[in-house]
Amino acid sequence: MILILTLFSLITSLSSSYGYDPLDPHANITITWDFILKTDSSYDITVSIHNFQLFRHIEKPGWKLGWTWKEDEVIWNMWGAEATEQGNCSKFIGGGGKLPHCCEKNPTIVDLMPGAPYNMQVSNCCKGGVLTSMVQDYSKSLSAFRMVIGSFSNNITNINMPFNFSLGLPGYSCGDPFHVPPTKFSHDGGRRFTQALETWNVTCSYSQFRSSPAPKCCVSLSSFYNDTIVPCPQCSCNCQGLPGTKCVKPGETPSLLELPPTHVTQEVPPLVMCSHHMCPIRVHWHVKQSYRQYWRVKITITNLNFVKNYSQWNLVVQHPNLQSLTQVFSFSYHDLHQYGNINDTGMFWGIQYYNDMLLVSGSSGNVQSEILLRKDPGHFTFREGWAFPRRISFNADECVMPLPDDYPRLPNSRGHSSTLTPPLIFFLSLFSFAFL
């Protein structure tokens, strides 16, 4: 058994250190760079950033796109986004009386905020750098901006593709640009198409290992057939009392001094409620009721972080009975079946204006829903922890689960080893499948 457990933890740690998520094997963010128009002294570029990730979104403070110019290019003008620094444009003093928007060799570009002046907008811009995941809202998974590029010699002969792209987001890294067939733009309701002079794609991918290997959420379990509430494992995210860890005692609200200053361009580190698990997010799975043909689960997500409202949150759940999910009461749901017929994984997220915002703890720091599942004959059982999820992630970060040995048991079931085996076999087969 110890051997299997070791193997299991080895495999899970391996799988999370890879950039690769078996539930979303093609996940990437693609930057498309279209050269549109060239004159003697400048050229126009449109850049779009597409979030091709099923369940990972880009939250505030949003993307910060960076690259390195090949020669002495400068950005004369920009719509839909802006450079964070103008840089040293002193070479241009005395020119036409106007300085470029940005003269940096390594510019950093940020999206404009919603409500930016109309004459500075382009289509798909101005979302404050936030990109929705593909499943939640495909229409908001794209950002775009336009710019006019010149150079000091004011004589552009080549159009150079820059290099060294970055998204300014923890965990992401970008590859080299590659030349792709030119983008076509539709006009006149699709009756005429124009095309870019040249198009390049840059693919960026995420790795939890590069981001931060520390978990950000944990799972607790309970059931109607056993009084035990199985809590999140000890030290799931951090250990209380370690030097340098701060937390807020339950029932207290942090004073303004304790709260880290809010920042427009940087993510604020979490300040969590003191607990034995120290996670900013806890997901509780309660097996609530059993009917003749159906059974009911209540899912509660609690925000224990005092410095963040989680907007557009999502939960990815793996459970073999999700293939017979009959009703979801107050979340949205979409199944994720990456391997043909195996639809044991699905994504839950909030309903707009109702519970799509998971507010800071205190007054209303949780969202909940119930789901109804059909008991598939031959599969369904309350024995051996089958009714509990195999895997849960919150905002695409995998949550720490209690050990299968601790799961609430049916009062009459005996024997430890039998409670362990089925979820483990399931995990092992899943991961070996993923590694083939």
Ligand X SMILES: *[C@@H]1O[C@H](CO)[C@@H](O)[C@H](O)[C@H]1NC(C)=O
Q: What residues make contact with ligand X under the rule CB under 6 A?
A: 26, 28, 30, 32, 48, 50, 52, 66, 68, 88, 90-91, 106, 155, 157, 164, 166, 180, 201, 203, 226, 228, 307-309, 323, 325, 335, 341, 343, 359-360, 406-409, 411
Q: Which residue do the tokens 């979801």 mark?
A: 328
Q: How far is the CB of 131 from ligand X (least distance, A)?
A: 12
Q: How far is the CB of 181 from ligand X (least distance, A)?
A: 7
Closer to ligand X by Cβ: residue 229 or 425? 229
Q: How far is the CB of 203 from ligand X (least distance, A)?
A: 4
Closer to ligand X by Cβ: residue 298 or 337? 337
Q: Shortest CA distance to 394 belongs to which of 250, 221, 216, 163? A: 216
Helices 2-17 & 416-435 angle (0-180, nearest 10): 30
Q: Which residue do the tokens 């992630």 mark?
A: 393
* DSSP of 5-53: HHHHHHHHHHHHHSS--TTSTT-EEEEEEEEEEE-SS-EEEEEEEEEE-
**What number of H helices and E strands is found in the chain?**
3, 28
Closer to ligand X by Cβ: residue 66 or 215? 66
Closer to ligand X by Cβ: residue 147 or 307? 307
Closer to ligand X by Cβ: residue 77 or 413? 413
Q: How far is the CB of 346 from ligand X (least distance, A)?
A: 7
C-alpha pair distances (Å), 111 with each of 44, 142, 183, 291, 375: 18, 12, 22, 51, 48
Closer to ligand X by Cβ: residue 11 or 375? 375
Q: How far is the CB of 10 from ligand X (least distance, A)?
A: 25
Closer to ligand X by Cβ: residue 15 or 46? 46
Could you give the CA distance from residue 185 to residue 222 in angstroms, rounded to a whole number?
54
* DSSP of 313-351: -EEEEE-GGGGGEEEESSSEEEE--SBTTB--EEEEEPP
CA-only gyration radius of the chain, Å: 25
Closer to ligand X by Cβ: residue 128 or 408? 408
Closer to ligand X by Cβ: residue 117 or 415? 415
Q: Shortest CA distance to 35 belongs to which of 146, 199, 155? A: 199
Exposed / middle / buried, residue 408 (Cβ in 10 Å: 0-12, 13-18, 19+): buried
- Amino acid in the structure at residue 433: F
Q: How far is the CB of 212 from ligand X (least distance, A)?
A: 19
Q: Across the strands, what pairs with 347?
A: 316, 334
Q: How far is the CB of 191 from ligand X (least distance, A)?
A: 22
3-state DSSP assignment of residue 425: helix
Q: How far is the CB of 228 from ligand X (least distance, A)?
A: 4
The answer to whether 153 and 73 are in contact (CB under 8 A) is no
Q: How far is the CB of 413 from ligand X (least distance, A)?
A: 8
Q: How far is the CB of 117 from ligand X (least distance, A)?
A: 26
Could you give the CA distance from residue 117 to residue 206 in angstroms, rounded to a whole number?
33
Closer to ligand X by Cβ: residue 302 or 323? 323
Could you give the CA distance from residue 317 to residue 221 in angstroms, rounded to a whole number?
14
3-state DSSP assignment of residue 382: coil
The answer to whether 302 and 366 are in contact (CB under 8 A) is yes
